Amino acid sequence: MEISPNVLTYKGSFTQPATEYLHLKNNSSEPLAFKVKTTAPKLYCVRPNASVVKPGDSIKILLILQGFTQPLPKDYKCKDKFLIVSLPCPELEDDSKVGENWAQLEAKHKDQLLQKKLKVNFIIDDEGDETRIDDISFANATQSAPISAISDADVSKNIGSADSNVSGVTEEATLESSELQKELLESATKINALSEKLDSNEKSFEKIDAVTAAPAETVNGVSFPLAVLLVVLALLLGYYLF
């Protein structure tokens, strides 16, 4: 089994996860099972940590450093190590079962087992200072949050005042509308009264005209018969006298 690199080197402030890669290549003529072990299993995440490499194939393994809660000092010395173990597995049919069957494989092929240790090296650069600056900026931004909250409260207060003003204007408009409706109703009542008065006057004028016309008809009716009678009498007198 060919393994590279010989030293795993991580660089940064180590407050954030960092990833390095391990390359394995099977130069033998039979499948090889491998398993990756570390002295700090809680600090590293290995994917995959156990599998099978076919003859002539290679595989890339992710070694993820979880990160620390605080930046490391410049003089920090890493003592972490990795151990890569490989052995033949011609009888293993399922590659995903390597971890479950590792004890049996190790007992059966113990004389063919190969191991390689890898050291871990940390290179601490200025990213740690940038991280501190970012943390300070974030803290300042967090402390300034109450100011934003106060501003929001003021805005809410102003909005409440605006709502009160709008309500006052609405009430005034409602009162004005009620007064206008009252005035319109009074005007309509006055108009109806005037209309009734005009109708009454017209009826009075009609009665007066009727009374005035009746005597005229009586006079005219009486004078016409008298005229006829006088004419008849005149004719009779003329007949007898002459």
* 56 pLDDT above the threshold of 90: yes
- How much is the mean pLDDT over the chain? 75
* 207 pLDDT above the threshold of 60: no
Q: Where are the domains of the chain?
A: 2-127, 144-198
Residue 66: which H helix or E strand, with range? Answer: none
Residue 139 to residue 150: CA distance in whole angstroms = 18
pLDDT in tens, 8-50: 999 988 999 999 999 999 999 999 999 999 999 999 999 999 9
State the CATH class of domain 2-127: mainly beta
- Report the share of the chain in percent with pLDDT over 70: 57
Q: Which of 46-55, 68-77, 95-104, 218-227 is the least confident region?
A: 218-227
- Residue 13: its pLDDT value, please? 87
Backbone angles phi, psi at 15, to 5 degrees: -95, -10
Chain length of the chain: 242
Of 136 and 223, the structure prediction assigns the larger pLDDT to 223
Residue 229 to residue 237: CA distance in whole angstroms = 12
- Report the share of the chain in percent with pLDDT over 90: 44
pLDDT in tens, 113-148: 999 999 999 999 865 444 443 443 444 443 433 333
pTM over 0.95: no
Amino acid at 79: K
The model's confidence at residue 233, banded by pLDDT at 50, 70 and 90, is confident
Residue 222 to residue 55: CA distance in whole angstroms = 154
Of 116 and 191, the structure prediction assigns the larger pLDDT to 116
Of 188 and 133, the structure prediction assigns the larger pLDDT to 188
